[in-house]
Structures are given as C-alpha cells and as structure tokens.
Structure 1
C-alpha cells in the first residue's frame, strides 16, 4: 500500500487503509505500507499489528500534502515481487507511484477516497489541478479504481478517467457495541458528532442548527481531534458558534477504546459535511450499526448509508435551518419511540462491516494479481 498518512495519524482515509491492511494480515497475507514520516517522532520502519510500515522522510509540506522524494523509490522497491500495489488517493505523487509500481512488475489497484477540495485562491487551484492530473495518470495505469460508493464515483470530477474500471466498496466500519453512556448529561435528546474538526465536516453549521433547537434538555457532544490536523483545524470557528450555550460540549480527541461509550451516549448522530472531500462517513455507519439514526448531508456518497439502511435524515449542506428541522424530526421520533433500533442495527450490519470490506478488497486484489500473471 502507498499513501501519504498512515497510523497513528487519524482520518477516514488512514483508518480505511489500516483496517484493510490489518484485515489482510489476519488472513495470512503479507502487507507492506509505504507512507511518509509525517511526524519526526515516528520510526522510519516498524511493524504495526503485523503490517510492515516504511516512512519516507518529508522535506516540505504543502497544505495537507507532504513532499517526500524517497516515497516513489521506496514504493518501487517494495513493489518487486508484490502481488498487487494499492494506492490511496488523493495523493500528490499518485501518477509517479503508479508508474513506479508498474515498472516493478506489480499491478495497481487504486482506492480513490475523494476529490481534492482546497481553499479558494491561486495556490489552492494550482494544487488541485496538479493532484487531479496525477490521479488521472494513476487511473490510466490501474486495473481497478475502488470508491466507497458508485454514487460518489459518478459525481467525481475524475469519473471519466475511472469509467469502466470502478468498483464501489464501502470503507470498513467497526462494531462499537458494549459501551456505557458515560458521556450523557441528563435524560434529554443527545446528538453526537465524531470526526476531525476541519472545514469539510461542517461543524459550525451543526452548532448553529442545534442552538436553534428549542429544547433546554437537549445536548450536543462534539468529539474529534483539532490539535494535530494536516491543513489546520476550524476549532476557533466552532467555539465562536457555540458562544455560551452550555448544552454543547467539545470533548477533543476520543481514542478508539472510548468510542463504544460515545456511541452509547447518543440518541442521534450528525454528519453535516459541506464539500466533496467527504465521501462516505464511517462514523455515521458505526452509529447505525448500534441502532443510532444519522443526520447526513445530501452529498454524493455521504447520503448513501442513510438511503441504503432506510432510516435517518438527509439535509442540504451548509443549511443550519435544515439541520434544525432534521434534529427536531429525530428528536420527536426518539421521544415517540418510533425508531426500531434493533432493526436499524441489523440492516446496517447487513451492508457494512470490517470483514465485508476486507472480503471485497481481497477479491479485487486477487483478480488484479491473477490477471497480471496470465
């Protein structure tokens, strides 16, 4: 596998890569991850839960991206004798890495997480053009392009480049059951958010929408990292939006072992994403797998879990009033007891889960390897 950030960095992209890598190792496969040394405190090489991780030195940073000249060299070396190389995009060096892997004799499967979305301005537009061009090169060289849903693929800027070789595979979603509701504050309606506190998550709009909820007993729990974020956090905007509303709590980073308690503490989950950099939303699915309905933005890919599971609310992005109405609907359903939570959880588990995702990737990887050998 090749990607910019790998564990211990936390994001949907890195978690998706980690879950597939470790899932394949559990099945007896050998997996090497070639990534960047985004934190100088990390070792250049180590084994993480059975996965060999190589981290190329970073010589410069460009927004959320890194410049690591050794990355393609190391990936080419690791590709020799590999059954398949899986690159996770968006990735500045995608085209170079795909060419390096093919040059080493390995077939390439891409995991295209999302289109790049950068702040307005000349620098952002230039970066976007360069990354998109690199992605198109990688797609031409790839056997298969995996996206978290066909809905997202069909609305991507790069759909023309992946047409005919795209496959929808949801990101791996974990069973977070068994938690205790230790984050609850009273018996009122509790809404939860979990994710990096960054622009694309739309947290200020969620705060504004929640604050308009006429319910003194309602609570909003905002969990997620804002301290170590590539490209910067919007935590100041979130705090400004909260003002003095003591119904809202910002927890900061919540480790994996505390996530069951977080999900057990909420009655609804909110994913108010605002742009194409969000393409799925693992966290909303993990809530659904525990019978917690979700409010999600009407964005390609993001809306799919709610549509597929058949429970929850879809709202327009960047629309605080729509969020308020959606939360009112979920609150009223919660109070009336009209949501069949066990049935919701069962439907979500039929469609999503770590092993289902690893099954799909294993099938795609084996097909690419077998085709290259013929």
Structure 2
C-alpha cells in the first residue's frame, strides 16, 4: 500500500469545475468524488474561474487545486499556472484523467512516462462560425489531438458520438472505451413547478447558444393549449462564452406560459423533473450524451431530443421518448404533443430501463477498472498490485 502523502491515485484536469455546472463538469465531479468514495486519493486541477472559490479546498474527499485566471477568451479562461499545477499533480499520480475539449490539453499530457493518461472526450469544441471562432477551434483541436496521441485510453460517452467526431481516428488509435456518464437517480418530489392540468415541457442546463432553446420556444408557441407550460431552467448568468437568456425571454415575450426560473438548487431539480411530462433537448450542435435528459428519464419523464450523434443514444437505447430532425420547429412541435400523451405504464417502464442502463455505480465500476488496469501496467516490477478500494483516503 502506498503511504506517500504526496501521492495520488488519480488527478482529474479541466478548467471549469465546481461551482460551475455543465454536463462536462458533472461527469468530472462524479468520477472524482466516486473514486474518492471508493478509497482512492484524488486531486482535481482546475482554475479559479469563480474568484469567490478558494484556491485550495477539500470537497467530498477530493483535493481541489484552483489556479488564478488572468483573462477570458470566449468560453475559455487563461490561467498560466493551470498547466504547471496540473502537470505537477499528474507526475505524482498513477492516472491523469483529462477532460476534453481543453485548450491546454496538449501541453498538459506531454512527457508523463510514469503516469497513465486517460482522456475523457466529451465532444468536439463548438464555437460560433466567425473568423475568431474558427481560429479558436483550430487551436483547441490541435491541442486535443496532441493529448489524444499521448493517451493510453480514451473514454467516450458512446460510440455513436465518437463516430461523428473530428478526432475519431486518433481516439480509435489510442483505444476507445465507451462508458456512459455516471447519472444520478434522483428522488421524486413535490411538483412545485406544475401550474395547471396541461402538458408541462422542460429543459435544464446552461442557456447557451448551441442548446438551440429558441427552437423549443418557437415550437411550443405553436401549441394552442392555454394550459400547456414550457419551463426553461438552468444557469443563465454565468455561462462561459455568454448565454442567451435575454434573447430567449424576448422570444417568449407575451406568452405567459413560458417560464424561466433560473439556476435551481439540488432540491429544486428534483421538483422540476417531478413536474414535467416531457424533457426537451433541441441542441443543434452535437452533444455526446445529455445527462439532464437521462436524470429526467429515470423519474419517468420521456425525452424529446434532436436526432444527432451522441445525444440521441439515451432515447434509442431506452425507447423512452422520441427524436426529431435537428432544427425542424414543426417536427419538434408535433413530437412534443405526441410524447406528452404517453400513458403511466409506458413512463414507468421507460424509467426502469433508464435506471438499469445509466445508474452511477455501473459507470464508476468501469472507470475504476480502467484506471486500475492502466496504473498496474506502469507500476514497477515487483511493486505488487494496489487496488483503489484498499488505499487510505
């Protein structure tokens, strides 16, 4: 058993982490805290993107190292010390789990012979189509490619997403492992967001441009039912690169059936899911999964998702919900009406299938097995096996 107090079993690296909330950060948090709960010593290298967050703290068994931010460019932050701190932690770790896309990825993974690099590839970077956006995309893509070449394994949420990635050949060369994100099975709660007998549609996530929530508003407004409701919840002020809350509110102006409750507490998330008849995920940029749609599914809420690689997989694998052609407002409106009418038996069966496929324990089992195998391959001969569950936290 390793007793070196400076050693970590796992370092997780990404620029946005708690208190920022996104699908990517939630996967990183779930893996870090899940491995810590199983006895591993875990560090997270991230940036101090929220100045109110401390530079060092321990959260749910995980040591957080936050580095100062000196500038912000689009969705990204510039923190010169981030790469230095992350690399120092990686050298003291059996495994470095770097979450992509990440501007600094290529520098971070370069020259770490004693550390197994595992890249979790969430999606290709998506930026608005402008000269600046295209330049930033090219720079990030090059860095991601470098990190993938340095990786001993690449984790993707599903192979459907990987097949559509610009980095597919590099991921396949490193070795693909498909592991659905650890999804939390939430508890049913009071339906406090429910207002009347009509169908209630909802979204939970960042109010970012690529989510194409304007499609949801426009489709909903074609529904004539005065008792129908559309609830668009989630972070609307601290969105990396800028959000679209103002534009969405303007689009919905005059229709009191559309609600924007903003950021929700953990308890309120349970209440939101318990209030919905259908979850709407209309993104036009490829998402590798969509954790919120699966959390809703697990509570008996079917999903309506764009028919795009990655994000369509939960609907396809569970059969719980419907897909529509991305960007088609009329198709989205028709699908919303259809899905909202699903009967209780279909909802219960769909929830059971979703819980069986996407529960957090099964996902963490696969991450733990992958980390343990790669760490053992780099362990000096004669050192003996060390299991994460056997280590002192």
TM-score over 0.5 (shorter chain) = yes
Matched, 1:220 2:230: yes
Which of 301, 311, 316 aligns to 1:307? It is 316
How much does 1:312 deviate? Answer: 0.7
The structure-2 alpha-carbon separation of the partners of 1:112 and 1:68, relative to structure 1 and needing over 3 Å to count, comes to same
Which of 203, 216, 219 aligns to 1:209? It is 219
- Structure 1 residues 8-47: aligned runs within 5 Å: 8-47=19-58
- Structure 1 residues 1-374: aligned runs within 5 Å: 1-99=12-110, 102-103=112-113, 105-164=114-173, 165-276=175-286, 278-331=287-340, 333-334=341-342, 337=343, 340-373=346-379
Q: Does the CA-based 8 Å contact 2:119-2:153 persist in structure 1?
A: yes
SS across alignment from 1:259 = helix
RMSD across aligned positions (CA): 1.2
Gaps of 5+ in 2: 1-11, 382-393
Distance 2:204 2:91 in 1: 39
1:163-194 deviations in Å (ceiling 9; x for gaps)? 14111111111111231101100111111111
Distance 2:219 2:186 in 1: 27
1:54-110 deviations in Å (ceiling 9; x for gaps)? 01111221111111111121112212331100000110000111115x15x211000
Distance 1:273 1:91 in 2: 21
SS across alignment from 1:84 = strand
How much does 1:339 deviate? Answer: 5.0
SS across alignment from 2:280 = strand
Output the TM-score relative to the length of structure 2. 0.91
Distance 2:27 2:369 in 1: 17
Count, aligned residues:
368
Distance 1:328 1:342 in 2: 19
Distance 2:332 2:317 in 1: 20
Distance 2:54 2:168 in 1: 37
Distance 1:231 1:184 in 2: 32
Distance 1:355 1:128 in 2: 35
SS across alignment from 1:163 = helix
Distance 1:289 1:42 in 2: 32
Cross-structure match for 2:9: none
Distance 2:79 2:370 in 1: 29
1:179-212 deviations in Å (ceiling 9; x for gaps)? 1101100111111111111111111100000111
Distance 1:322 1:55 in 2: 45
Distance 1:250 1:72 in 2: 37
Distance 2:61 2:267 in 1: 20
After the TM superposition, which parts of structure 1 deviate over 4 Å for at least 4 consecutive aligned residues? none
Q: Does the CA-based 8 Å contact 2:188-2:299 persist in structure 1?
A: no
Output the TM-score relative to the length of structure 1. 0.96
Distance 1:65 1:347 in 2: 37
